[in-house]
Structure 1
Amino acid sequence: MEKVLTVIIPIYANEEYLSVCLPTLLHDDIMPMIEIMIVDAGADDDTLSTAYDYVQKYPETIRVLKYADENHGAALNDAVKKAQGKYLKVVEGHDWVNTMGLVTLINYLGMHDVDMVINPYIQFNGDNMKQDVIVEHTFAQYSSQYVYQFDELNITKPIPFCEITYRTKLFIDNDIQFDDNLFYVDAAYVLYPIRAVRTITFLRNPVYVYHVNFDPQNLTMNVKETQDHLAQHYQIAKACIAYYDLHKRSLSAAKLAYVQQCLRQVINIQYYIWLSFPPSTLRKQQLMGWDAEVHEVVPEIYQMTSGPIITMLKKSHGHLYKLAALLLQHKLEYIEQRNRP
């Protein structure tokens, strides 16, 4: 039987959660239709051992692609080329899925041809152990019985990567590739394929279970993790800007508006990362260098960056940097306290 869905799972040092993730993808009703590709781009031995244990149990369904270095982008590019599924979805190794939602999704995918499929997701907070909080996507006004043309919609809010399933041929036919040197590619996964998307549909069943504590771009939930990967996120932001600058003239009005909002979000996060550090001369220089770079390269996006803290920083030309940093850190401390069990 033809594989309907390829699930790509990048793994690192997350052996504990991989043991949670994989069983949720395995259900008798979909075993012939699902392919699970575990992508090792720097995993430790215990995580790999867990992965190979599952390969031995399910050799027709699961395989491991191993790479020599922590090159997430290149590893995902290779996984996409080798994917046998008609559709593909990325599930981080520290997250998992709602099994019955996955079954419903695969049954739908097997009977329909659409470039981009959107599902709501479930949020899990490991700090206070709250789970099964269904985060509805913002497209409830659209019928789940209809396939839309992307260009006929007015989508201005970035769709979270965990909601998205793509048709695999979209990547192959349009030579859509992630940047080789990127570690986190969530933003690129949301942004890069849009130029080729023609059709989109919005389903109602939640599929992805999103472990918020492990999101490197969720500044309020994991500041230390984000700070540790400052350089990686900076490279992501620069790559997304370059991609936008390359393709913006060929985008339809609807796609341009959507991509601009996606890029605005990525740029805002980079501002917040630098502001989350204790104020220093070095951090201020880095931050204002970033501000100047965005203003020069994508002035239209620069005008869209928003939020009272960023606005205050820009209007003061950096003179209120220390106050902006302290305000953000106060906000983050408040959110952290609120989320404690």
Structure 2
Amino acid sequence: MTESKVLTISVAAYNVEKTLEKTLSSFNDSRVLNDLEVLIIDDGSHDNTYKIARSFEEKAPQTFRYIKKENGGHGSTINKGIKLATGKYFKVVDGDDWVDTDNLYKFIQKLKNIDSDLVLTNYTEVYSTRSKNIKLISGMKTREYTWYDDINIERVALHTVTVKTELLRQHNVHITEKCFYVDIEFVVWAAYVSQTIRYMDLYLYQYRLGESEQSVAKKNMLKNVAMQEKVSYQLVKMYDQFVKSKNMAPRQEMTIFKTLKRSIGSTMRTYLLVNSRVAKKDIKQFDRNIKNISAISYDRLNADRFIRLTRAFNYNLVPEIKIAYGIWIKYKYREE
């Protein structure tokens, strides 16, 4: 496929009539329209998502493209975006988030002059009453790096990554469908398929948090814990496959592993929201399933202090861990 754009942004849009106008408006700037492709992928919405998306397609048809599909979950919108993208670079933005428009312009101008596989940027957490800039990396210069260089990428997330489209296609990247929390799969794939990395000190992605209906809200994570499990098991399989391929540089492996262990730890902490007896049983079974899927991943996860402590003494410390976690979560939500 001939590349006609510098950047494709794939917007996951499912019943986002309340937020989509803000999302799409953040891309609708005359300075970027000729270099930017925005794929608005409607995942079977039942509200006015269609009307809002169509209005932007009419305003700037060279940039905005509306795609209607049957409901298949967030992963299916990413898969569709990868298939249809014409941009050299590919980025995912959720339909309830947006970008800083001035930084988007700066970002695209910089993309024109580089050829790195993976581009990392900062993001902003936006709550109802405040916002917080999250700087991704300290001490990393703007030059191109490889995974063999002395870099320490502590955290990669959907909000931070932009990757070459052709690499996603070459590796037949496919994200789990009909499931929440799959953005972590996309992030891991982006790290794995990339050999060269560049960091740009721009606060690009504006990440909305604190909304009760979000899948990352505490009550919804408990309700959807089976989906967390599904994604965790998929990540374990991916990590096992990547390690056995022997294609990863040590720092690349470390970045992917840190992403894996955060996901596994998050699932375990979700179990702690129920009573201690059930929590112990569920965590023990979840951990056994990981071991059955991949001894490599299971052993490697002992490097995580929380997981190692949870496993200690045949999971008998779970009640104490649950109490400590309850105190921490109350403090965290009071702060936010």
**Residue 184 of structure 1: how far off its partner (Å):** 3.0
Rounded to whole Å, the distance in 1 between the matches of 2:207 and 2:171 is 29
| TM-score, normalisation: structure 2 | 0.90
RMSD of Structure 2 on Structure 1 (CA): 2.1
Question: More deviation in 251-260 or 290-299?
Answer: 290-299
Taking the aligned partners of 1:319 and 1:142, their CA distance within structure 2 comes to 42
SS of the equivalent of 1:157 reads coil
What corresponds to 2:302 in structure 1?
A: 303
Structure 2 residue 290 is matched with structure 1 residue 294 = yes
**What CA deviation, in whole Å up to 9, does each residue of 1:207-242 have, x standing for no partner?**
111112259685xxx211322321222111111111
Deviations 1:61-86 (A, max 9, x none): 11122221233323321211110111
**How many residues are treated as equivalent by the alignment?**
328
Partner of 1:50: 52
Of residues 40-49 and 117-126 in structure 1, the stretch that sits farther from structure 2 once superposed is 40-49
Unaligned runs of at least 5 residues, structure 1: none
Q: Is the 8 A contact 1:151 1:198 kept in 2?
A: no
One-letter amino acid matched to 1:33: D
Q: Does 2:126 match 1:130? A: no
SS in 1 for 2:314: coil
1:236 counterpart residue number: 231
Change in CA separation of 1:153 and 1:32 when aligned onto 2, cut-off 3 Å: same
Q: Given that residues 233 and 290 in structure 2 are in contact (C-alpha distance below 8 angstroms), is that contact kept between their aligned partners in structure 1?
A: no
Asked if the contact 1:70/1:183 (under 8 Å) is kept, the reply is no
| C-alpha separation in 2, matches of 1:329 and 1:51 | 42
Distance 2:253 2:332 in 1: 33
Q: Which residue of 1 aligns with 2:280?
A: 284
Deviation at 1:169, TM superposition (A): 1.0
CA distance in 2, matches of 1:71, 1:149: 33
SS of match in other structure, 2:124: strand
* In structure 2, distance between residues paired with 1:314 and 1:184: 24
Give the letter aligned to residue 284 of structure 2: M
- CA distance, structure 1, for counterparts of residue 35 and residue 263 of structure 2: 35
Give the SS at the match of 2:8. strand
Alignment CA distance shift 1:269-1:332 (3 Å): same
> Which digits, 9 at most, give the CA deviation of each residue in 1:284-320, with x for residues without a partner?
322210122234422233312323xx54432132223
Separation in 1 of the partners of 2:113 and 2:42? 32
Mapped to 1, the partners of 2:14 and 2:326 lie a distance apart of 29
1:161 corresponds to 2:158: yes
| Cα gap change, 1:135 to 1:329, in 2 (>3 Å) | same
Q: Tell me how far apart the structure 2 counterparts of residues 171 and 62 of structure 1 sit (CA, whole Å).
A: 22
> Alignment partner of 1:141: what SS?
coil
The TM-score normalised by the length of structure 1 is: 0.89
Mapped to 1, the partners of 2:24 and 2:14 lie a distance apart of 15
Q: In structure 1, how many angstroms separate the alpha carbons of the residues matched to 2:76 and 2:150?
A: 32
Q: CA contact under 8 A between 1:13 and 1:43: conserved in structure 2?
A: yes
**Residue deviations 1:154-202 (CA, integer Å, cap 9, x gap):** 4352212211111111111222221334433211121013222111111
Distance 1:185 1:93 in 2: 15
Residue 272 of structure 1 aligns with which residue?
A: 269
- Provide structure 2 residue ranges, at least 5 long, that are not aligned to the other structure: none
